[in-house]
Amino acid sequence: MQTAHDGTETKKLDSITDNLILFIPIFYRNIIGLAHSKSAAAHINTEVRAMFMLANNAIMTTSEIGRKLGVSKPNVTSLLDKLVKKGYIERLPDVNDRRVINIAVTAKGRRFIARRIQVLRKAMKGNLSILEYDEIEALSSALGTVRNIISRMDDRH
């Protein structure tokens, strides 16, 4: 695999990072609709991001969760304590290593995520409904490509 070392590739990486920095607030404002809603349902905080991530993985360790969320170990512990208290997740001892604690989503947590996804989908569909068909096709294709690339990056970490 070739890495970006020459001037052209460095400039391309600079362009990508600039676009991503600009993209994130635009995404939240226009796709999710945060600029138009003050409701908690529209806000994606760290707890909700953690729950989405856990719902897509059978079991994760505390350190995996912290790494993927970009949260320090003490903050992950505090976050998980809140989610345990709400009944959304449970801590399970690892069968192979008693020092490792695994985290799994409970049935209540899965119901919470399902409701949250339903609200987000509805808001996003409403915001995307202003697009023309060809714009929807282009966005769908581009997002598929971005998701595949970012997933491969995540696998490498």
CATH number of the domain that residue 126 is part of: 1.10.10.10
Note whether 5 and 52 are same-domain residues.
no
CB-CB contact of 65 with 25 (8 Å)? no
Note whether 61 and 102 are same-domain residues.
yes
What pLDDT, on the 0 to 100 scale, is given for residue 55? 87
Q: pLDDT band at 30, cuts 50/70/90?
A: confident
Q: pLDDT band at 35, cuts 50/70/90?
A: very low
Please indicate whether residue 48 or residue 105 has the higher confidence score (pLDDT).
Answer: 105
Burial of 8 (0-12, 13-18, 19+ CB in 10 A): exposed
What pLDDT, on the 0 to 100 scale, is given for residue 106? 95
Distance of CA 139 to the CA centre of its chain: 19
Q: What is the residue range of 119's domain?
A: 33-156
Question: DSSP secondary-structure letter at 103?
Answer: E
Note whether 60 and 22 are same-domain residues.
no
Q: pLDDT band at 98, cuts 50/70/90?
A: confident
CA angle 54/55/59 to nearest 5° reads: 50
Note whether 13 and 62 are same-domain residues.
no
Given the structure tokens 């890495």, which residue do they identify? 3
Q: What is the pLDDT of residues 55-91, one digit of tens each?
A: 888 799 998 898 888 888 888 999 999 999 999 999 9
Note whether 102 and 143 are same-domain residues.
yes
Provide the number of structural domains found in the chain: 2
* Residue 36 pLDDT > 60: no
* Residue 53 pLDDT > 80: yes
Measured over the CA atoms of residue 42, residue 44, residue 47 and residue 50, the dihedral's sign is: positive
Note whether 17 and 76 are same-domain residues.
no
Note whether 18 and 28 are same-domain residues.
yes
Note whether 25 and 47 are same-domain residues.
no
CB-CB contact of 12 with 4 (8 Å)? yes
What pLDDT, on the 0 to 100 scale, is given for residue 67? 87
CA-based diameter of the chain, in Å? Answer: 55
Note whether 28 and 38 are same-domain residues.
no
Mean pLDDT of the chain: 82
Note whether 69 and 3 are same-domain residues.
no
What pLDDT, on the 0 to 100 scale, is given for residue 72? 87
Cα separations (Å) of 68 from 61, 83, 136, 154? 11, 17, 29, 8
* Residue 109 pLDDT > 90: yes
Given the structure tokens 């399902």, which residue do they identify? 114
CB-CB contact of 50 with 116 (8 Å)? no
* Residue 125 pLDDT > 60: yes
Measured over the CA atoms of residue 96, residue 71, residue 148 and residue 116, the dihedral's sign is: positive
With a pLDDT cut of 90, the percent of the chain lying above it is 27
Question: DSSP secondary-structure letter at 45?
Answer: -
Note whether 137 and 147 are same-domain residues.
yes
Note whether 137 and 97 are same-domain residues.
yes
What pLDDT, on the 0 to 100 scale, is given for residue 44? 58
